[in-house]
Amino acid sequence: MKAQRISRSTTLQSSLRSTTSQDKPYTISKGGTQLTSDIYTLLPLDLKSNPATTLTEELLPLLDPLLPTLFLAECVLCYLKPEVGEEIITWFDRFGDCAGVIYEMCGLE
């Protein structure tokens, strides 16, 4: 789990601290899968059922469409129907400065 690995690394923890906060730089929730700080959020989402609704209700309140945004999809799109994957990627068009990184399994036999 990425959130747990980040929480165990002092180097990564220090990267999560904003310049104005003296408190613990992050919180871990959702059974250790979500990490939230003032400057970074790792948010686990289930996109199988209705991705547009899930993204809008759970992700959009955490984001500012005016800020640069990185969309990271890790081994998710290969499990979805192509039209659902396209719907997810298209959802991010609302962000003016958005980049996506998608990495999937390949070469499986």
Strands (E), 1-109: 26-29, 34-37, 41-42, 69-74, 98-103
Tens digits of residue pLDDT in 44-81: 888 877 888 999 998 899 888 998 888 888 878 888 88
Tens digits of residue pLDDT in 25-41: 788 888 888 888 888 88
CA angle 79, 83, 87 (to 5 degrees): 100
According to the model, what pLDDT value does residue 109 have?
A: 63
| Residues with Cβ within 8 Å of residue 57, at least 6 apart in sequence | none
Mean pLDDT of the chain: 84
Residue 90: burial class (beta carbons within 10 Å; 0-12, 13-18, 19+): exposed
Residue 96, CB-side half-sphere exposure with 13 Å CA sphere: 4
Percent of the chain with pLDDT over 90: 18
According to the model, what pLDDT value does residue 19 have?
A: 61
CA–CA distance, 50 with 53 (Å, rounded to integer): 6
Q: What is the DSSP letter of 20?
A: T
